[in-house]
Amino acid sequence: MPNSDQEIIQRILAGEKRAYAELVNRHKDKAMTLAMRMLKSRQEAEEALQDAFVRAFKALPRFEWKSSFATWFYRIVYNVCATSLGKRGEEIHYSLDDEESLVHVELTSDDYIPDLQFETSEVQRIVSEVIQNLPPKYTSIVTMFFIQEMSYDEIVEVTGLPLGTVKVRLFRGRSLLRNALVERFGNDFDGVTMFKDFDDKKESVE
């Protein structure tokens, strides 16, 4: 049975520095997906991921297990990528636009966003491609929720954003995703069940 993250971290803190490679191998793929979706450049994503792993290693002695290692590490990845985007002039943190929408989000419920399911691998490929082309502040939230199956609480922990802002961006990101897919396939697109009842519900949160 594979060692847990906590067991591996205990070994690292006890002086077994090489054990850090186990953590890297365990979390690098999901972290790379998030970095790629946010930065939209493999080279920049690889650099951000390397920076995040170095930061996480240095910060391990201060890790208090108030969340899982994965959530804690993904927050580091998110912040490194957000800093890179900020240098480009792309703001993905809390904004006035988000604040103005919070009152409307309160009218929605968690079941407004059903699980993402794909009918075919081709649809999955296309959805992944479309998500990649969303604006970064929506791409990150959509990726964490639908692709990495994080809960609202985990996304809040990773991003540091208010829950209402997460819901706003998730709703808007999904709306952009749906529009892109409809444009590609036509109004009869039915390959992704995440859009079930979407049209009936969208008026209450816009």
d(CA 45, CA 54): 14
Number of domains composing the chain: 2
**pTM for the full predicted model:** 0.69
Same domain for 124 and 58, yes or no, is no
Same domain for 25 and 103, yes or no, is no
102 pLDDT tier (thresholds 50, 70, 90): very low
| 76 contacts 105 by C-beta, under 8 angstroms | no
Range of the domain at 100: 96-204
Instruction: Residue 105: give its domain's CATH number.
Output: 1.10.10.10
Same domain for 81 and 173, yes or no, is no
| 176 contacts 184 by C-beta, under 8 angstroms | no
pLDDT (tens digit, 9 = 90+) per residue, 149-185?
Answer: 899 999 999 999 989 889 888 888 888 877 877 777 6
Taking residues 42-50, report their average pLDDT. 94
Same domain for 120 and 27, yes or no, is no
d(CA 196, CA 175): 12
Instruction: Residue 18: give its domain's CATH number.
Output: 1.10.1740.10
Same domain for 14 and 103, yes or no, is no
Same domain for 105 and 44, yes or no, is no
